[in-house]
Amino acid sequence: MRRRRAIALSVCVATAAAMAFSAGPAASRARAAAAACRPSEVFASADGGDDSADIHAHDARQGYARVRTSVDNAKGTAHANAVNPKTGVHWFSGPGGQVFSAEEQGRPYPWTDLSGTPRDAAGLTAAGKGPEKEGFGFRKDARAYILEPGGTGRIITFAADRPKTWSTVRLVAAADDPLAASLRYGSLSDLAFDGHDRAWLSSLDGIIWRVDDTEGARWQAHSVVRLDTGDTALTGIAFATDRDRLGALLVSTAGTTRTIREVLGVGGNGHYLSEPLYSGDAGSYTDLASCAYPKDLPGLSAGPSRARRA
């Protein structure tokens, strides 16, 4: 009897230890991921310099200072990046249209099913052989969207927990939009989503677009404003919030330095870029991402919205 009790006790202890071991690291990773994804933080893909292709975190609460390297990436040059708002996992693209994901400070994992570019419903081109992916963003429900370059007007979309099951969205401009032709030039650079599930898109030539309804397989975009970016290209777009502000729309530009700027007074109140909130290092920031989904956007034209509201 005493021996059976000892065996039973040892089994219980071993089981508890195994459960603690299996749950502990996962729980700590989940806590670390959640802590790493704050609405005040903006994540930028670096291009050029010693840390090319790394993803850097900037914090609105610290004046957009660069606070850490979120992903130490050795997968070539930087392109698009995004962060899953539910898990804090970073997703990003690399040379040849490759797609990777990584936990904060983690090792990148390659997603061959998303690498390359969709040819048609039958499948993808050979992994790593497609054109670069220029924009990457998550809606607040953790659905991902990747811009397909080359003026196709097509967006790859998938649920973060089912990346192998992807589909496409067709992006078109409203028929009466004065800048409709610019969507056909392949100049779209990035996209981000607000708290009403509206998509905001940037183009290299400084145009900001908005899609009010992102539920279907066909998106109709309206040009909101054309920004004066001087001799630089508009490469990234993201939102950020902090204690003092409801929501700020941020952009990055390609030039001799890396910069993050705020879009000021879009729609009726002027439309221009702030002085750099961050400027430094050699190269540029090719893409911005965040976990901020503001519903109130002071100074940004809201306009009609048919988006699903949470």
The answer to which of 167-176, 178-187, 194-203, 252-261 has the lowest mean pLDDT is 178-187
- Please report which helix (H) or strand (E) contains residue 11, including its range: helix 2-36
Distance CA 83, CA 42 (A): 10
This prediction's pTM = 0.81
Residue 35 has pLDDT above 60, yes or no: no
Reduced to 3 states, what is the DSSP secondary structure of residue 154? strand
Q: Which amino acid is it at 292? A: A
Confidence of residue 5 (pLDDT cuts 50, 70, 90): very low
Q: Residue 229 forms beta bridges with which residues?
A: none
Q: How many residues does the chain have?
A: 310
Q: Which residues contact 269 (CB under 8 A, 6 or more apart)?
A: 299
Using a 10 angstrom Cβ sphere, with 0-12 exposed, 13-18 middle and 19 or more buried, the burial of residue 90 is buried
Nearest to 235 by CA among 10, 78, 73, 22: 78
What confidence score (pLDDT) does residue 33 get? 45
* Matching residue, tokens 């040892």: 10
Distance CA 293, CA 195 (A): 4
What confidence score (pLDDT) does residue 266 get? 59
pLDDT tens digits along 205-262:
889 999 999 999 999 999 888 888 888 889 999 999 877 677 889 999 888 889 999 9
Confidence of residue 26 (pLDDT cuts 50, 70, 90): very low
Distance CA 310, CA 295 (A): 10
What confidence score (pLDDT) does residue 116 get? 59
* Matching residue, tokens 């981000």: 192
The answer to which of 52-61, 81-90, 241-250 has the lowest mean pLDDT is 241-250
pLDDT tens digits along 121-158:
333 443 334 556 778 999 999 999 998 876 677 899 99
Give the 3-state secondary structure percentages of the chain, helix then strand then coil, rounded to 5.
15, 40, 45
pLDDT tens digits along 247-290:
889 999 888 889 999 988 655 555 788 999 999 888 889 899 99
Q: How far apart, in Å, do the first and last CA atoms of the chain sit?
A: 60
Residue 105 has pLDDT above 60, yes or no: yes
What confidence score (pLDDT) does residue 308 get? 34
